[in-house]
Chains A and B, each alone.
Chain A
Amino acid sequence: MPEVRTEYQQELDSLEASALGGLDLVSSALSRTLEAIEHQDIELAQIVVADDDRIDGRYLEVHQALITLLATQSPVATDLRLISAMLHVLKNIERMGDQCVNICKVIPMSGHEPPADEAMVKLILTMGTHTKSLISQAKRAFEERNVEMARDLVQRDDVVDELNRECFQLALAIGDDADKREWAMTMLLTARAIERIADNAVDIGEQVAFVVTGLFREFEDASHPHADA
């Protein structure tokens, strides 16, 4: 039986590559963001903010192409789930990019003195590195349609959540100095943004499960912490 609809399949494959390529853009934005935090590099932070246009551009372009594919190819079954998943993943990517921007916008506010608490900076950089590897894993899970790998993201995200809580404790203990407190608040915003990025990676994992199983649901959420998916 010869293959039919090869152009459609090629278009679908190409859009998937484009959408997942957005995760590479996010990864690189996050790397630069972490570098900007580590070295208090305001210029690098500004570059991240400007470059977010590329992520937004990818979002809009692939979104439009997916809508066109829906309108013209009447996709059903896995194709339809894949397109739906990609629409969600694109949104996740766009949000992750925006979180990097949020971090980079507060870096200048953290001042030019050495950090008030080295431990906190270390925590944040660790959160960041861990989150980068979550993003990689989410991308691979999607490419390989690997539900186990996707589900594993939940546990790895727990690590990031724990680090975020530790940051919060460190911030509480920072003391009365007004400058220090301001610095600690910007660091908390940063930690929070990284935690959000990691969360978005888990959401991508949930989309992997949807494509493969057809079941659209959260892996776990606060009101049902041990729910079976």
Chain B
Amino acid sequence: MFGSQAKPEAEEGRNTMSQAGPVTETSNQPSETPPARRAKTLEAKEVNLYYGDFHAVEGVNMTIEPNKVTALIGSSGCGKTTFLRSLNRMHELTPGATVKGNIELDGEDIYAGGVDPVAVRRLIGMVFQQPNPFPTMSIYDNVAAGLNFNAGKVSKADKDAIVERSLRGAHLWDEVKDRLGRPGSGLSGGQQQRLCIARATAVSPEVLLMDEPCSALDPVATLAIEDLISELKKEYTIAIVTHNMQQAARASDNTAFFNLDESGKPGHLVEIGPTDEIFTKPKKKETEDYVSGRFG
């Protein structure tokens, strides 16, 4: 599924530009959204993360369920963002950062030898806290960026269809369809974030990782993104790091609580479970104390 480092290979399912599938369907009927599909499961097994000698996160075992939203919560410095970034091989971009353990996408280890990390990052996309559309590119080109950078020639018609599908999927099409040639930076914060989501989904990922996607947005834009996330999970597996507990409570199906015993110690997963249980009857006292705001 990830191809080798040497050249990207034809892949199964909707992850290949050259295969039939949603691409051909949408170019015939550009205004129809693709049908909901079963996304993939992301599984962490005994994951330990290091920055050089510093043991940042220890022993994480968890399943990020397909077509569901998993929220990662916990106090500052507890490792949740470090863990998130290991899920699509961005952790290793920090010099000296290393990963031990396995992370599997539907059973295939994303860290196996010969796996192309770029292919991983396409299948497991990321949306960041600060919306970051490419400032000099138009809205159209922002969405199509992933198609342009990745190998395989995509016809103009197919590209148009993918751009429309992605913008519709991000609930942004109606607002920007008449100005696709204008710069991405001219949009509001909430619109920019939706543009980044469209950009991530344009390359047909399996998983979307979101690192505090609403922290820079006002409450109305935040709720709009949360509604969007709830639509997106019909097609993707989603993990979202959030500082905002009410957001985790509102917008997720499962919640994973990370904590630090004390500064300098590695962060670890305390408890993971269905969100309604975590917020009504958590199993661990630590979790209860955190969600009820009894400690930061």
Chain A interfacial positions (CB closer than 8 Å to B): 2, 4-8, 67-68, 71-74
Instruction: Report the number of A-B residue pairs with Cβ-Cβ less than 8 Å.
Output: 32
Contact A68 B276, CB 8 Å, known A4-B227, A5-B223: yes
Q: Are A71 and B280 in contact (CB under 8 A)?
A: yes
Contact A4 B223, CB 8 Å, known A72-B249, A73-B250, A74-B246: yes
- A73→B226 CA distance, assembly (Å): 12
Contact A74 B224, CB 8 Å, known A68-B276, A68-B280: no
- A15→B276 CA distance, assembly (Å): 16
**Min CB distance, A63 to chain B, in Å?**
12
- A73→B279 CA distance, assembly (Å): 11
The residue that B249 contacts in the complex, of A4, A5, A67, A73, with Cβ under 8 A, is A73
Main SS of the interface on chain A? helix
- Give me 7 other A-B pairs in contact (C-beta within 8 A), A71-B280, A72-B250 excluded: A4-B226, A4-B227, A5-B223, A71-B276, A71-B279, A74-B246, A74-B250
Neighbouring B residues of A6 by C-beta, 8 Å: 227
Q: Contact string, B180-222, partner A, CB cutoff 8 A, digits 1/0? A: 0000000000000000000000000000000000000000100
Q: Are A5 and B227 in contact (CB under 8 A)?
A: yes
Neighbouring B residues of A67 by C-beta, 8 Å: 280
- A6→B224 CA distance, assembly (Å): 10
Neighbouring B residues of A71 by C-beta, 8 Å: 249, 276, 279-280
Main SS of the interface on chain B? helix
Q: Are A72 and B276 in contact (CB under 8 A)?
A: yes
Whether a CB of chain A sits under 8 angstroms from the CB of B129 is no
| Beta-carbon nearest neighbor of B171 in chain A | A2
- A4→B221 CA distance, assembly (Å): 10
Whether a CB of chain A sits under 8 angstroms from the CB of B275 is yes
Neighbouring A residues of B226 by C-beta, 8 Å: 4-5
Neighbouring B residues of A8 by C-beta, 8 Å: 250
| Beta-carbon nearest neighbor of B174 in chain A | A2
| Beta-carbon nearest neighbor of B279 in chain A | A71
Whether a CB of chain A sits under 8 angstroms from the CB of B15 is no
Whether a CB of chain A sits under 8 angstroms from the CB of B75 is no
- A223→B280 CA distance, assembly (Å): 39
The residue that A4 contacts in the complex, of B224, B246, B275, B280, with Cβ under 8 A, is B224
- A5→B246 CA distance, assembly (Å): 14
- A74→B249 CA distance, assembly (Å): 8
Whether a CB of chain A sits under 8 angstroms from the CB of B230 is yes
Q: Are B275 and A72 in contact (CB under 8 A)?
A: yes
A–B pairs, 6, beta carbons within 8 Å: A5-B227, A7-B227, A68-B280, A71-B249, A71-B279, A72-B276
Neighbouring A residues of B171 by C-beta, 8 Å: 2
8 closest A-B pairs by CB: A71-B279, A72-B249, A4-B223, A68-B276, A74-B246, A71-B280, A4-B227, A72-B279
Neighbouring B residues of A2 by C-beta, 8 Å: 171, 224
